[in-house]
Structure 1
Amino acid sequence: MRSEKTTLIWVVMMLVIRTQKVRLYPNRHMKKVLDSLCDYRRYCWNEGLATWNDMYDLYTLDSSSPRPSAYSVRNELVANKADWQYALSARTLQLAVTDLGQAWQNFFDKSQPDWGKPAFKSKKAARQGFKTDRAKIVAGKLRLDKPHDIKDWYDIRISKHSDLSGVLKVVSIYRENGKYWASLPFEVELDNKPQTGDNSAVDVNVGHLNYTAGVVNTLPKRLRKLYQRIKFYQKQLAHKRVVNGKKATKGSRYVAMRAKLQRDYRKVVKIQHDIMQKFTTKLVNNYDKIVIEDLSVKAMQMSHVASKGLQRSMFGYFRQILTYKCDWYGKELILADQGYPSTQRCSKCGHIKVGDDKITLQGNERHRTKHNEYVCYSCGAVLNRDENAVANLLALI
């Protein structure tokens, strides 16, 4: 009798948070609501921080006093609520104090980026916002939680987006330059990508990314044109401030030009993020293991010119999104040590350049080689500098 074999294929599902940034188009009434919630968030943060500081001072003077925490500070603010606060969302206060508690936790960890003590929020800041965990997407519109005894309440129209599905988590809404935006984090289920059996390495450079299958240009011609226009607007605005002083910022022409400058900055960010998102998706689709360098970007910022090129190349953003996409889809990301000589090592014989033989951003002055040339003085190989670095990184797998 012929035996039949049944193969079971287990599909590994993973819950991840995928955030979508959308533009909000509130009506006049909801604009006032959003503005009041932005102000209320700032008020709750500042009141919470002042209460926290007072409780901490009392704790240092008298050890029998309770040590401040997000729970105790929140209870103090809720107990002292004014009548006008009940017309606003209670979740704004709760989440503001929760974020304040997290900020204090980060203060005790000096390894955190932008480490520092929590500071008071200013109403003059360009960006004002609040958070809520009771928002919903209803018929393609954003619905916020309505406070008690409020009659006029409307859903907010949002910009068109193809993927607004999943379980909606804590929504961040903010106002910047008169426009309203929302970050919508959805909890979704993702499948692991199929294994391809191929590996790749990425060598990051100012203006381009090299990998085993080619080169990705991170500063295309359209971006350079936008940067030229941004430079022109910045010079014009600086000139107006020098000539007219503090009154310059109140002029209609100044405001109009500043709006154009901000519009071009948004275009730049949109183009850069689109390039990085598409490239990282291509990497996790086509490769199982990916090697990149663990670069210290701050140490590489030798001058304002180099800093500008590094910022425009978005090394940190590339690593950030590649890291979470590898986690999402079950791919392995390998970080080469900062001391690994990927640029100075010959991928043919393994010889490492030292001293005056090293390659710099300008090439090698002693041997008069160009910045994109790698000449091995041990085996005589003549290679492209970036392709040689990719081959060295790939050897780590």
Structure 2
Amino acid sequence: MAIDNIDVGVAIGIAIGAAIKVRETIGVDIGINTLATCSDRTKFANIKAYRQAKKQLIRHQRAVSKKVIGSKNRRKAVKKLAKVHKKVADIIADALHKLTTWLAKNHSTIVIEDLNVSGMLKNHKLASAIADCGFYEFKRQLTYKCEWYGSELVIADRYYPSSQICSNCGHQQKMPLHLRTYECSECSFEADRDLNAAINLKNYVHQ
């Protein structure tokens, strides 16, 4: 059994809908490869702003470190570095603004994970990708927008195994990060791992 024809939408390209809630509950899996995968099969692409600017940031950071503390040249270098950081932050914030507004404006209940970001950042191989996702900013924006639009934000327990549970039969199995497809050993159900997790998050409120 497989889920096919997944609709893919980039966050920047999705227009903000009407104030009327078009759906009741939606589960949202925030990821590294994809910014967000929703239980209705909508996907928001990761813009990778931090990773794309990483070399530029490193170059400016080195320029700052080479300048004499308190000098005019150092102040100029610091301003250039801050400008790049702001540009990256603005790009990420804009993408998250479009995503969180779409979620809060069009859904009565949004279910997300309580991610252990500080723990994830200890993995240096994932640090840049995690920075692009803007987990803290996503949660902050979604929280106040749900209040603004009258939607309910449900945060699943941090230890809820959304990626390990089969959204078809409820069987639980280990899912290493390198596996991108969930293949249930119990009922043979197959789905994109992020979509499977998003569906489980949607179902979380009914447990």
Match of 1:227 among 47, 54, 64: 54
Q: CA RMSD in A?
A: 2.2
User: In 2, distance between residues paired with 1:256 and 1:229?
Assistant: 16
Q: Which residue of 2 is the match for residue 323 of structure 1?
A: 143
Q: Which residue of 2 is the match for residue 350 of structure 1?
A: 170
AA paired with 1:318?
F
AA paired with 1:387?
L
Structure 1 consecutive aligned stretches of length 4 or more whose deviation exceeds 4 Å: none
Q: How do 1:285-324 residues align onto structure 2 when only pairs under 5 Å count?
A: 285-324=105-144
Q: Does 1:267 align with 2:92?
A: no
Q: How do 1:113-262 residues align onto structure 2 when only pairs under 5 Å count?
A: 193-207=19-33, 208-211=35-38, 212-220=40-48, 223-238=50-65, 240=66, 247=68, 250=71, 252=73, 254-262=74-82
AA paired with 1:279?
L
Aligned-pair distance for 1:307?
A: 3.7
CA offsets, 1:145-178, max 9 Å, x none? xxxxxxxxxxxxxxxxxxxxxxxxxxxxxxxxxx
Larger Rg, first or second structure (1 or 2): 1
Q: Does 1:382 align with 2:190?
A: yes
CA offsets, 1:339-395, max 9 Å, x none? 211000111111101xxxx2222x2xxxxxxx3121211112222111110111111
TM-score by length of structure 2 reads: 0.79
Match of 1:341 among 148, 156, 161: 161
User: In 1, distance between residues paired with 2:176 and 2:199?
Assistant: 19
User: In 2, distance between residues paired with 1:306 and 1:271?
Assistant: 20
User: In 1, distance between residues paired with 2:70 and 2:99?
Assistant: 40
Aligned-pair distance for 1:223?
A: 4.9
Q: Which residue of 2 is the match for residue 360 of structure 1?
A: 176
AA paired with 1:388?
N
Aligned residues: 185
User: In 1, distance between residues paired with 2:22 and 2:189?
Assistant: 32
User: In 2, distance between residues paired with 1:248 and 1:289?
Assistant: 51
Which of structures 1 and 2 has the larger relative contact order (alpha carbons within 8 angstroms, sep 6+)? 2
User: In 2, distance between residues paired with 1:337 and 1:210?
Assistant: 19
- Which 5+ residue runs of structure 2 have no aligned equivalent? 1-18
AA paired with 1:231?
I
CA offsets, 1:183-218, max 9 Å, x none? xxxxxxxxxx43434321110112521112422123
Aligned-pair distance for 1:272?
A: 1.1
Aligned-pair distance for 1:251?
A: 5.4
Aligned-pair distance for 1:276?
A: 0.9
Aligned-pair distance for 1:266?
A: 0.9
Q: Which residue of 1 is the match for residue 102 of structure 2?
A: 282
SS in structure 1 opposite 2:204? coil
TM-score by length of structure 1 reads: 0.43
Q: Does 1:391 align with 2:207?
A: no
